[in-house]
Amino acid sequence: MSAPRKLHIKSYGCQMNVYDAQRMVDTLAHEGFVETASVDDADLVILNTCHIREKASEKVYSELGRLRVAKDEAARHDRRMDVVVAGCVAQAEGAEIIRRAPVVDVVVGPQSYHNLPQLLARAKRDGRALDTEFPIEDKFAALPQPKPAAIRARGVSAFVTVQEGCDKFCTFCVVPYTRGTEVSRPVARIVEDVKRLTDNGVREITLIGQNVNAYHGEGPDGQPWPLGKLLHHLAAIPGIARLRYSTSHPRDVDDTLIEAHRDLPALMPFVHLPVQSGSDRILAAMNRKHTAAEYRRVIDRFRAVRPDIAFSSDFIVGFPGETEQDFAATLALVAQIGYAGAYSFKYSARPGTPAADMQEMVATATMDERLARLQELIDSQQHAFNQAAIGTTVDVLFERAARNPGQIVGRTAYLQPAHVMAPDDIIGQVLPVTLSSLERYSLLGTLATSPATIHAPATAPALTGA
Ligand code: 5AD
Ligand code: SF4
């Protein structure tokens, strides 16, 4: 048998890219590739790129510069190294990458990476290959399944794509162009994926999609099912301890989703609900299709059924035309809502989006200053949120051995890392932990259950809502 070929994959950007990278690894495992952590001994290097902001795509070209050196070195030793650019930069700038970067052998978009084996063969034959089509056939149907050993190696928490693409067309955003229009996967396919994962030790599933609560996949009854109904269905699968979903649009929060938060203990009370701005004028210019008051009402609907729910969000500062008054409205909204954490970004004009043609650019220095003020407010809220956990006893899903010998690390319902001293057979279990201190972003605590009784309560609470 020939030695396995080595694959090095580097992913940028969102959770969907992390998921796509795993599916590329699964696809290539069937072609005899094994993953390697080092670029230098790789036979195949894949950059799974992100186009959401300027800096993200700049990184690709600087990485390609480094790969040219590694590829030349391999050639000196008579070894072929294929370089693939995948992901959203590939989709948006495929032809330009081929022109600008001779080091690249294959360019493949996010909707066609199931064709990687054929594209690699084509590159070997013809020199280069490019595929940025949005194929009619279902990418998911064409993708080979992960091997059980690969699922186990990835740990107790896994992503499952339930929908892809977006029809919202926020004026700043490239996603509708790079990922395409909104497509939801059928319920039966998602259930198969989830069962395969839980059969192999996965306890927590995060349903992912660019606009996950626009989900409307076909149910077993032939009708489109909303996300809340899908969550109810998945919560009944044995082995599921925790369900999450990301990312949501405030406009698509329907009653089924609120009811799922009311009825399902397995559905974690932590929701990422981007708002981008607190100014109605800017929200309109962004084409977000809601006001700040409507966003607050959505938050209130969640809080009415789950008082312990916490939120995170995304913000853009310096959108074209943003005045000091608009920015003050963003700070006021953040102060009112009170977040467990949030991401904030400086506006970056993306080619081909409507906002890129807007005048009244905000000066870079002003953006820097607003970003710092917003981040300071968010950091203080996050710190207060984490601090408030000290002294409480909460459920933790244990994930892996920590760096400190003897310590196991898991996550609370709010994704806060929590460390305890314990034997490693608690990995994969949900156990109560009394939290005693906070070190930067990590909580430290002790198990609130004696090891003898560990096994019984581990799965039971999460399944009761089914
Ligand atoms: N400039 C800055 N931030 C952006 N985002 C999306 N597009 C842009 C852009 N052009 C941010 C939004 C989104 C997150 C994933 O990235 O806040 O929610
Ligand atoms: Fe982009 Fe999200 Fe708006 Fe869709 S809803 S266009 S993914 S920011």
Task: Tally Cβ neighbours within 10 Å of residue 391.
Answer: 11
* pTM greater than the 0.85 cutoff: yes
* Dihedral pair phi/psi, residue 23, rounded to 5°: -70, -30
Rounded Cα distance between 16 and 162, Å, is: 10
51 CA distance to ligand 1 centroid (A)?
10
Q: Kindly give the distance from the C-alpha atom of residue 346 to the centroid of ligand 1, in angstroms, as a whole number.
A: 8
pLDDT for the residue numbered 265: 97
**Cβ atoms 215, 165 nearer than 8 A:** no
- pLDDT of amino acid 59: 87
pLDDT 10s digits, 226-277: 999 999 999 999 999 999 999 999 999 999 999 999 999 999 999 999 999 9
pLDDT number for residue 454: 46
Evaluate: CB of 211 within 6 angstroms of ligand 2.
Answer: yes
178 Cβ closer than 6 Å to some ligand 2 atom = no
Identify the pLDDT of residue 55. Answer: 79
CB atoms within 10 A of CB 363: 9
Tens-digit pLDDT profile for residues 269-283: 999 999 999 999 999
The stretches in the chain having pLDDT less than 50 are 452-466
* Chain position carrying tokens 């109810």: 232
Q: What three-state secondary structure class fits 272?
A: strand
Q: What is the DSSP letter of 253?
A: -
Q: What is the pLDDT of residue 462?
A: 30
User: Ligand 1 test: best mutation among 57, 171, 173, 175, most atoms within 8 Å of CB?
Assistant: 173
Ligand nearest to C-alpha 252 = 2
Contact between 305 and 262 under an 8 Å Cβ cutoff? The reply is yes
Q: Given phi > 0 = left and psi -120 to 50 = alpha, else beta, which region is 140? A: alpha
| pLDDT at residue 466, rounded to an integer | 26
Q: Yes or no: say if 410 and 242 are a contact pair by the CB < 8 Å rule.
A: no
pLDDT at 243: 98
Structure-token pair, residue 53 = 């902001």
287: which 2 tokens? 């084409």
- Single-letter residue type at 312: S
* Tokens 């004028």 belong to residue: 281
Ligand 1 pocket residues where CB is under 6 Å: 52-53, 172-173, 274, 276, 314, 316, 345, 347-348, 350
Cβ atoms of residues 50 and 21 within 8 Å: no
Angle formed at CA 220 by CA 182 and CA 184, multiple of 5 degrees: 10
Q: Is 346 helix (H, G, I), strand (E, B) or coil?
A: strand
Res 451: pLDDT: 52
- Amino acid, res. 104: V
> Which of 58, 316, 347, 361 is the pocket-test mutation for ligand 1 (most atoms within 8 Å of CB)?
316
Nearest to 63 by CA among 43, 85, 44, 82: 85
14 CA closest ligand 1 atom index: 15
Give the list of residues 6+ apart from residue 275 with CB closer than 8 angstroms, or none.
250, 288, 292, 295, 313, 314, 315, 333
> Residue 138: what pLDDT?
75
Contact 231, 245 (CB under 8 A): yes
Spatial separation of the C-alpha atoms in residues 397 and 399, rounded to whole Å:
6
HEC letters along 140-174: HHHCCCCCHHHHHHHCCEEEEECEECCCCCCCCCC
Q: Which atom of ligand 2 is nearest to the CA of 287?
A: 3
Whether ligand 2 lies within 6 angstroms of the CB of 36 is answered as no
